[in-house]
Amino acid sequence: MGRSKPNGDRGDRWVLVADRDPQAALHLAGYFCRRGFRTYHTTQGEEAMLLANSRRLLLAVIDVSLLDMSGHALAQRLKEIDPELPVLMTSGDYAPELEAAARRVGILYYAHKPADYELIGGVVDKALKN
């Protein structure tokens, strides 16, 4: 899908944004880019995995539903590569079982859409300080 260059420098580590809605992925990636992160956004889980296998990820923000796989499946695969990777999951579906499944995979935070970027930013800042 696309890469964004940061306004600041966070090193060679990337923030992955995966969402079935390309505009949502682009907007959230833009938010992280403005905060100085290198970002990559996609609508596909397999494309996300290509990035994860070729770059060091700092963080992943994944929607529960991607075009080619579930967000849960992508989160699990990313955690197999890096068990310490902070993963945030977003969803427009308020079904409690989706959030429970995401938590079993080991996500850091579950955000309901529309996403509150400032809240997500605070969660990210706290996670990266640890």
Pick the CATH number of 2-129 from 3.30.450.20, 3.40.50.300, 3.40.50.620, 3.40.50.2300: 3.40.50.2300
Give the start-to-end residue ranges of the domains of the chain: 2-129
DSSP string across 33-100? HHTT-EEEEES-HHHHHHHHHHSEEEEEEEESB-SSSBHHHHHHHHHHH-TT--EEEEES---HHHHH
* pLDDT tens, residue by residue, 60-74: 999 999 999 999 999
- Nearest-10 Cα torsion for 33, 117, 69, 84: 70
The model scores a pTM over 0.85: yes
Nearest to 51, CA basis, from 77, 22, 86? 77
* pLDDT tens, residue by residue, 8-45: 444 567 999 999 999 999 999 999 999 999 999 999 99
